[in-house]
């Protein structure tokens, strides 16, 4: 086998070689290296548009890689401690769905927390798997769901010994990690696979000061958002697999849904970003940790805000905490998280990752600098002074236990009817309702609609949360199962 060197970037190098050739394009894309679309060339730049090319022998093929893409996959696997790494151009949504489609079939059970990304539910709609939810504990002060306790996972496994896999978030959007190694060992002891949504944990592989990564915990598959904390282009991701997974089978599953026209801009960004992290990631994330800890200290000194961290660790449902996640509770300032989110953008030209009913998340990574941190801290201080009010009347974001009545697939494809939102209590939902980001469904197909859920949706809409999912974009009506 060819010796690997993390200083290589084989896809990028192949594109550089190709760019020096005078190849006449009688293939797609139709802009023909930008000549057919001058406005697009001006927007993206000539060097970028010239590298927007199609698969060909010198550049390999994403569906069946044998040369430069294959070498890039091998390098990524080495850098991320995996048996194999697949380059994904459909985002981590595609990677998560490929994990579930690889591990389960119609009618088979998968054990998972309810606070998963919509891509998990989407995968179950596609293949007919049955969710067995482990209801996460909640933090009363923050109003957020936590990780899965080991005992709760053990109970779910005992009650569902025929389940095929256990699914874990590592970390949650807020930075909270479960005891991943213990859950992996539990799953394997019961002949189940362990699948990990590591969308927000790319950096775990490059620092011993951060929580344990999925591959180092022995997980069978992990979906990693390189474009989040890893620095690649939006929509580029990695799917990592352990030794128990058959590479050929997983690739067949990926090829069911992933494009046959993989973007070389995305692929080369994965290649270059992997090289950057492999060579400089440890040092880079040391700096990110320092910035986050400094920001947390400064924000907590403002008063009212609570930028939480490792003090939450309880050894189980909060087994560890990702200190690079600058999660801040806003309720004691008298403002919902989404209100602070809007104020930061509209009044201070600061775009943070998301705001929910009680929290905001400022996403810190390798591109951040001290001056931006100072600007964020200053803006939060001013928001408290200018817009802060009494806490009374604010609703916490609370975890609402789902009542699963029908499988997600059966509900999504069942005969349905549209009803006014407030007339749907007691009915079975046939579509998704979620705030995005983070994209965790409030309702998923097959779940009973309750009064608590309806009040939550109405309140979130009033506060300005970006609600997505239903056919009715205004979310004044919901689709429910007909006659159920």
Residue 1 has pLDDT above 60, yes or no: no
Same fold, 75-270 and 408-481: no
CA gap 128, 332 in Å, rounded:
43
pLDDT of residue 22: 85
Tell me which CATH code domain 408-481 carries: 3.90.100.10
The angle subtended at Cα 405 by Cα 402 and Cα 407, nearest 5°, is 100
Q: What confidence tier does 395 reach under pLDDT thresholds 50, 70, 90? A: low
Residue 98 has pLDDT above 80, yes or no: yes
The 10s digit of each residue's pLDDT in 166-224 is 999 999 999 999 999 999 999 999 999 999 999 999 999 999 999 999 999 999 999 99
Mean pLDDT value across residues 276-288: 97
pLDDT of residue 99: 98
pLDDT of residue 211: 98
CA gap 411, 278 in Å, rounded:
44
CA dist 123 → 62, 103, 104, 409, 444 (Å): 22, 11, 10, 9, 12
Q: What confidence tier does 483 reach under pLDDT thresholds 50, 70, 90? A: confident
CB atoms under 10 Å from CB of 464, counted, come to: 13
pLDDT of residue 2: 66
Q: What confidence tier does 299 reach under pLDDT thresholds 50, 70, 90? A: very high
The 10s digit of each residue's pLDDT in 438-482 is 767 889 999 999 999 999 889 888 888 888 889 998 899 999 999
Q: Tell me if 320 sits within 8 A of 212, measured CB to CB.
A: yes
Q: What confidence tier does 398 reach under pLDDT thresholds 50, 70, 90? A: low
CA dist 222 → 100, 169, 372, 394 (Å): 11, 10, 32, 37
Alpha carbons within 13 A on the beta-carbon side of 372: 16
The 10s digit of each residue's pLDDT in 327-374 is 999 999 999 999 999 999 999 999 999 998 899 999 999 999 999 999
| Pair of tokens at residue 222 | 């992990």
Q: Was domain 75-270 assigned CATH 3.30.1330.40? A: no
CA gap 205, 192 in Å, rounded:
24
The 10s digit of each residue's pLDDT in 64-92 is 999 999 999 999 999 999 999 999 999 99
What are 197's strand-pairing partners?
169, 223
| Pair of tokens at residue 63 | 């569906």
CA gap 28, 38 in Å, rounded:
17
CA gap 233, 262 in Å, rounded:
13
The 10s digit of each residue's pLDDT in 238-262 is 999 999 999 999 999 999 999 999 9
The proportion of the chain whose per-residue pLDDT surpasses 90, expressed as a percent, equals 84
- Domain spans of the chain, in order of start: 75-270, 281-387, 408-481
- 3-state class (DSSP) for residue 362: strand
CA gap 170, 185 in Å, rounded:
16
- Which CATH code, of 3.90.1150.10, 3.40.50.720, 3.30.450.80, 3.40.50.300, is assigned to 281-387? 3.90.1150.10
Whole-prediction pTM: 0.94
pLDDT of residue 437: 67
Q: Say which residues have a Cβ less than 8 Å from residue 256's Cβ, sequence separation at least 6.
A: 101
Q: What confidence tier does 416 reach under pLDDT thresholds 50, 70, 90? A: very high
pLDDT of residue 466: 80
């Amino acid at each position: 086998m060819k010796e690997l060197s993390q200083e290589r970037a084989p896809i990028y190098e192949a594109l550089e070689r190709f760019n020096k050739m005078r190849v006449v394009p009688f293939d797609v894309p139709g802009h023909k290296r930008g000549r057919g679309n001058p406005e697009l060339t001006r927007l993206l730049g000539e060097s970028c548009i010239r590298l927007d090319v199609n698969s060909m022998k010198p550049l390999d093929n994403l569906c069946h890689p044998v040369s430069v893409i294959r070498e890039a996959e091998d390098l990524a696997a080495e850098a991320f401690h995996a048996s194999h790494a697949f380059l994904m151009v459909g985002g981590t949504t595609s990677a998560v769905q490929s994990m579930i489609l690889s591990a389960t079939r119609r009618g088979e059970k998968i054990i998972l927390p309810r606070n998963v990304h919509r891509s998990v539910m989407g995968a179950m709609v596609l293949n007919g798997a049955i969710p067995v939810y482990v209801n996460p504990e909640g933090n009363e002060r923050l109003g957020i769901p936590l990780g899965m306790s080991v005992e709760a996972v053990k109970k779910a496994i005992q009650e569902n010994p025929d389940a095929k896999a256990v699914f874990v978030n590592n970390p949650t959007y807020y930075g909270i990690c479960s005891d991943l190694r213990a859950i992996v060992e539990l799953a394997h002891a019961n002949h189940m696979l362990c699948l990990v949504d590591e969308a927000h944990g790319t950096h775990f592989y490059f620092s011993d000061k951060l929580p344990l990564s999925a591959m180092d915990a022995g997980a069978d598959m992990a979906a990693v958002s390189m474009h989040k904390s890893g620095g690649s282009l939006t929509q580029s991701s990695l799917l990592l697999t352990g030794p128990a997974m058959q590479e050929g089978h997983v690739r067949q599953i990926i090829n069911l849904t992933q494009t046959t026209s993989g973007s070389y801009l995305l692929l080369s960004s994965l290649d270059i970003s992997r090289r950057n992290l492999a060579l400089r990631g440890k040092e880079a994330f040391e700096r990110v940790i320092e910035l986050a800890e400094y920001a947390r200290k400064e924000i907590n000194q403002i008063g009212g805000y609570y930028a939480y961290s490792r003090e939450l660790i309880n050894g189980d449902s909060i087994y560890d905490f990702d200190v690079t996640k600058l999660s801040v509770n806003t309720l004691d300032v008298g403002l919902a998280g989404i209100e602070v989110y809007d104020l930061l953008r509209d009044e201070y030209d600061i775009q943070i990752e998301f705001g929910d009913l009680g929290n905001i998340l400022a996403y810190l990574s390798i591109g951040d600098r001290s001056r931006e941190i100072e600007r964020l801290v200053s803006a939060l201080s001013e928001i408290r002074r200018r817009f802060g009010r009494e806490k009374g009347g604010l609703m916490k974001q609370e975890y609402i236990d789902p009542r699963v009545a029908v499988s997600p697939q059966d509900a999504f494809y069942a005969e349905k009817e549209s009803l006014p939102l407030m007339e749907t209590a007691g009915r079975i939902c046939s579509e998704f309702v979620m705030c995005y980001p983070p994209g965790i469904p409030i309702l998923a197909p097959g779940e009973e609609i309750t009064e608590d859920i309806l009040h939550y949706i109405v309140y979130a809409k009033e506060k300005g949360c970006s609600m997505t999912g239903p056919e009715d974009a205004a979310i004044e009506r919901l689709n429910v199962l007909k006659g159920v």
